[in-house]
Chain A
Amino acid sequence: MSGVLVADHVTKTFSAGGSDVVALRDLSLEIAEGEFVCLIGASGCGKSTLLNMFAGFIQPSAGQLLLRGQPITGIEPRCGVVFQSYALFPWKTVRGNVEFGLKMKGVPAAERHRIADKFIDLVKLNGFENHYPVELSGGMQQRVTLARILAADPEVLLMDEPFAALDAMTRQVMQEELLRIHEQSRKTTVFVTHHVDEALILSDRIIVLSARPGRVKAIVANNLPRPRRVDIQLSPDFAKMKAEIWGHVEEEVRKHVEATRLSSAAG
């Protein structure tokens, strides 16, 4: 296996209320350098679990996860995470948040300042350097997390439904920003979402996970032309691919709905 990021026969079991729940079973996948991969699937399919394992927040029950061939055994700063709920430090200003990763690396203050400025610029938050997160809107806060992780310069970006809490319009703007940033930086990115549209707009490749226990159900190469803008949604190719992916996802969503109905009937 030669990918930057590899999941090798990974199984993850959680024990909940005395019984074991298998979140992922024997899942293998590989992510190449510079690739933007979207993980998509029904809720509860274990896509966030997989992301948390890549970040080293949790360990697999069987199998292993590799970053450039090395097993991931603890929290891995080379895999930078963008959280759905932002996870900004409320007591730090925008600048303080963006500089955090650099400070941890021991970068001198002047250098930190310069790099932070560059990334605050990139996410278009100039003028808000000295604001606290609580003073910003949700979309602006998510920009700060983006700038914070980009300034820390990890080898891989892991994004866990980062735009899920945003309204539809802000979400589109953020998708376009992310497209622009990714096409500039070409940083390897794993992006978890349950939006087929979002996956198609952003990705080079879409990995559809099956309903619990999660396994790779389908891998679809997304050949929509780059550089892209969110208006790619209007193209006929987009519609065709959306139908294809929805075909894979729908079956799994039905299974998930069925499973929850059965389990609630049993309970």
Chain B
Amino acid sequence: MTIGNATEQVANSGTNGRPKSRPSLIHIILLVNVLSVLAFVGLWALSTGLGWVAPIFLPSPSAVAAQASKLIDSGELWIAVLSSSRRVFLGFALATVIAVPLGILMGVWWPAKAIVDPFVSLLRPLPSITWIPLTILWLGIGESQKIAIVFMGSWLYILLATIEATKRVDPLLIRAARNLGANDLAVMREVILPGALPGILAGLKITLAISWSCVLSAEMVAAQNGLGALIWQAKDWGNLPLVLVGMVGISFTVLLADALAERIERLLQPWERHRRS
């Protein structure tokens, strides 16, 4: 996380021309980040190497590294990452396609909000894992069930963020657009959609992380492959290094997805460039 922030500062100080002395502080922060990680791994190696912790509770870093390289070489890790990613992508995309238009409609037209609101209130307290029994009954334990769990865990958050973003569009801008001759459709296309976009994208980004936790819990309950299944099966085989490799794999995959989402967010809103720096 800290590494991410530090690189972001470097990028920003480059674009708006801050004094050149700035990057040196960034480099020091980066160095401390790296040292902190190395110290942690060293302490970990020491505690397992000297027998402070039994290997059945915590394997050594070298055992984890060996397991990781075995998994990468066999291609199993990529298969797990890809099958989890595919489920997240499909469930999340489906949730976006349904919840964003519905949220905009609910934000601008009160009857839509009045119709859907009771269901939102009832569904919101339910964590996505509570849908596992029903979805298995309806959809079996195949791909569509995992995608359904991701969908159920994501769409409400996207919906709520979209309603909020739509309602926050500055009414003065709507007034100005109408004064310049915009009709309802033009107000929607030219003002409400771009005005709500930052809030919608922020909501999508937060929800993406939630989607990942949904797919992992679904995979841990019933799946042949995927990162969740990988660590759950490793536990059953008593292969602790594999559990840790799976967890690190999840961490990196979600971080990567987050970084990708950040890039897309920036590309879609060139006018937000300056607000961030």
Binding site for B on A (CB under 8 A): 55, 57, 75-77, 79-81, 83, 85, 87, 89-92, 100-101, 104-105, 132-135, 148-149, 152
Complexed CA–CA distance, A76 and B270 (Å): 32
Among B173, B180, B269, B270, chain A packs the most CB atoms within 10 A around the CB of B180
B177 part of interface (Cβ distance < 8 Å): yes
Interface with A: B130-138, B189-197, B210-218, which one?
A: B189-197
Complexed CA–CA distance, A206 and B81 (Å): 73
Residue interface bits B179-211, CB-to-A below 8 A is 1, else 0: 111110010001100110100000000000000
User: Do the beta carbons of A132 and B274 come within 8 Å of each other?
Assistant: yes
Given the known interface contacts A104-B181, A152-B181, the answer about A132 and B175 at a Cβ–Cβ threshold of 8 Å is no
Which B residues are in CB contact (< 8 Å) with A105?
181
Which B residues are in CB contact (< 8 Å) with A134?
271, 274-275
Residue interface bits B260-277, CB-to-A below 8 A is 1, else 0: 000000000111011100
Which A residues are in CB contact (< 8 Å) with B112?
none
Which B residues are in CB contact (< 8 Å) with A91?
194-195, 197, 269, 271
> How far does the Cβ of A142 sit from chain B's closest Cβ, in whole Å?
13
Given the known interface contacts A57-B175, A91-B195, the answer about A100 and B180 at a Cβ–Cβ threshold of 8 Å is yes
Complexed CA–CA distance, A89 and B191 (Å): 8
B176 part of interface (Cβ distance < 8 Å): yes
User: Do the beta carbons of B182 and A104 come within 8 Å of each other?
Assistant: yes
> B190: which of A100, A133, A148 is its contact (CB, 8 Å)?
A100
Which A residues are in CB contact (< 8 Å) with B271?
90-92, 132-134
User: Do the beta carbons of B274 and A152 come within 8 Å of each other?
Assistant: no
User: Do the beta carbons of B179 and A55 come within 8 Å of each other?
Assistant: yes
> How far does the Cβ of B202 sit from chain A's closest Cβ, in whole Å?
15
Complexed CA–CA distance, A135 and B270 (Å): 12
User: Do the beta carbons of B269 and A152 come within 8 Å of each other?
Assistant: no
Which A residues are in CB contact (< 8 Å) with B195?
91
Among A91, A101, A104, A134, chain B packs the most CB atoms within 10 A around the CB of A91
Given the known interface contacts A55-B179, A104-B180, A152-B181, the answer about A135 and B172 at a Cβ–Cβ threshold of 8 Å is no
> How far does the Cβ of A55 sit from chain B's closest Cβ, in whole Å?
6
> A77: which of B172, B181, B191 is its contact (CB, 8 Å)?
B181
Given the known interface contacts A104-B180, A104-B186, A105-B181, the answer about A87 and B173 at a Cβ–Cβ threshold of 8 Å is yes
